[in-house]
Amino acid sequence: MSMTVVGIAIGAFVAFMSFQFGFWGFVISLLFMGIGALLGRAADGKLDLRSVLDAITGRRSSS
């Protein structure tokens, strides 16, 4: 599946959520999509959640 098709599907989903559930449905769907993307990258091994958490809390620098 090409990235264009994936982008169209995501856009259709977000549009459906905004029309069906209003602004807050739109915001919540974007929030869950972002969480899912982060967890998916972590499952693939492309993102280290511990280093992200350390950077957010200020324990380590991100650079």
Question: Mean pLDDT in each 10-residue stretch from start to end of the chain (63 residues)?
Answer: 84 88 87 85 84 82 57
Q: Which amino acid is at 51?
A: S
pLDDT of residue 14: 86
pTM (two decimals): 0.64
Instruction: Say which DSSP state 60 is in.
Output: S
The pLDDT of residue 61: 59
State the pLDDT at residue 63. 59
Could you tell me the two tokens for 14? 């977000």
What is the reported pLDDT for 60?
66
